Structure 1
Amino acid sequence: MSDTEFTCIIDRRHLKEAPVTLNATPEQCAALAKRFDIPQVKSLTAKLTLQLEDGDVTAKGRMQASIVQSCAVSGDDLPVEVEESLSFRFVPDVTITEEEIELEEEDCDEIPYSGTSFDLGEAVAQSLALAIDPFLTGPNADQVRKEVGLLDETSAGPFAALAGLKTKD
């Protein structure tokens, strides 16, 4: 059904009351780091409870991850701890008609699945991707900005450079 880096196929017909715990292997962590273009995923764990209601499966719980990201300015590797609440609703895939439909806010968190199984691991992996800050900066960011001329200590805020352009007219 799925060939993603962090797969955990769940069949809704065999749900249990006990929470599902997902732990990424070192190989899965390495594959996720490559997919998300970050230096390292050290660990990824999620614990979710699953509840079935009329074919829909609601999954709620927490995700914890330890990753290494690069500073957006200096390129330095920075350790990052991620802890997020998770809430998904897996819904049976329906055929889309050509008529216009309006989505409600709660519809946006739905993940369609075909048959009786869905990939809980991929939903967790996508949540990790969303938690990665693409503009993360570290302690050396301002020094690098100064070195390349993007930070002037005499400037008073982010619009000071624009104000300087105005006086040149």
Structure 2
Amino acid sequence: MNEQASPEKQPEKQVTEFSRMVDLRQITDAPLVLEPDEAERRRLAARFGISAIHAMRAQVRLSVDGAIIRADGRLTAAIDQACAISGEDFPVAINEALHLRFVPETQVEAEPDEEIELSANDCDDIPYSGLTFDLGEAIAQSLALAIDPFAEGPLADKARAEHNLAGDPASGPFAALSALQKKD
């Protein structure tokens, strides 16, 4: 019987809309500026369910402490997103501090059923393996977290009034109680 060795499955590389790989051996004290091009901004907008990303810029300084890499800086973006009430697009400016921490995968792995406690610092740990990590994807995720999915634009109050979304307090669940209170 002639047995063939089955090739080991290689983990699939996840393709991201804004990938900027950083080699640990190339880290310097110089600040890094990351800006997606128009096509990357369009793909990120689609990924995050917003209308447009007109500009996005992250400036970070990397520091190394053993195998842990910190990225500290600022993320700015100009986006258009739909109002949660009216559905109309409106501009939003994002200006967020960035504090990212990249740690080797071996330091963040846990057993599947093992209960772990996280400190505030552990919540932002981003695992990496080998000698590189994807700073662009981490910044893209930071942008996603900065977008308010329930943001209301300038036409929100008008839309509430037109569609009676504000509710009429005279017909709400406490209207009967209010009427009884006035009789006393």
Q: Report if TM-score (shorter chain) is over 0.5.
A: yes
The answer to whether 1:48 aligns with 2:60 is yes
Look up the equivalent residue of 1:107 and give its one-letter code. Answer: D
**1:106-125 correspondence to structure 2 within 5 Å:** 106-125=121-140
Partner of 1:3: 15
**1:93-108 correspondence to structure 2 within 5 Å:** 93-94=105-106, 95-97=109-111, 99-108=114-123
Look up the equivalent residue of 2:49 and give its one-letter code. Answer: D
- Cα deviation digits, residues 96-148 of structure 1 (max 9, x gap): 33654322221111101011111000111011101111111122211211121
| 2:172 alignment partner, SS class | helix
Partner of 1:148: 163
1:162 CA displacement: 3.1
Alignment partners' CA distance in 2, 1:143 and 1:35: 29
Q: Normalising by the residue count of structure 2, what TM-score does the alignment of the two structures yield?
A: 0.82
Alignment partners' CA distance in 2, 1:149 and 1:40: 29
Alignment partners' CA distance in 2, 1:42 and 1:61: 20
Look up the equivalent residue of 2:126 and give its one-letter code. Answer: I
What percent of counterpart residues are identical? 44
* Further displaced range: 136-145 or 52-61: 136-145
Structure 2, unpaired ranges of 5+: 1-12
2:172 to 161, 164, 167: 161
Q: Of the two, which has the highest radius of gyration?
A: 2
| 1:125 alignment partner, SS class | helix
Aligned length: 165
Confirm or deny: 8 A CA contact 1:2 1:119 kept in the other structure: no
Partner of 1:30: 42
